[in-house]
Amino acid sequence: MVSKFSSRRPLDEGEEAEIQKIIASDPDAPEATDEQLAQAKPFAEAFPDLMESIKRARGRPKMAAPKVAVTLRVDPDVLERFQSKGKNWRSDMTQALRKAVGLT
């Protein structure tokens, strides 16, 4: 959508008057009065139950047993063998380590 009003420069009086006329003519969104603005409350204060129901934590959900990042030096031929198995080579390496220590 192309706008004929640019925010890169101040509006002249004619443009400002035209914008105010458009705002005033919108029946679905009348401009709030000073009394209405004085009675306005923040969303969380006006609808605490609804706010609580839509509140969510940011980021990825916590895992029950998150994996631990480590640095591990392995022989090049061992790494090459696992990587040659394809995209899931890390999972294959994990399974091999689990088997080696008796966890599976």
Give 34-89 as a DSSP string.
Answer: HHHHHH---HHHH-HHHHHHH---SSSPPPSS----------HHHHHHHHTT-TTH
Report yes or no on 92 lying in a domain: yes
Confirm whether 82 is domain-assigned: yes
pLDDT band of 9, cuts 50, 70, 90: confident
- Does the pLDDT value for residue 1 go beyond 60? no
Full domain range(s) for residue 86: 75-104
Determine the average pLDDT of the residues in 47-64: 84
Structural domain includes residue 90: yes
Number of structural domains in the chain: 1
* R_g of the chain, CA atoms, integer Å: 30
Please state the pTM of the whole predicted model: 0.43
Q: Is residue 4 a part of any domain in this protein?
A: no
What is the pLDDT, as a whole number, of residue 7? Answer: 67
Average pLDDT value for residue range 73-102: 95
Q: List phi, psi (to 5°) of 76.
A: -55, -40
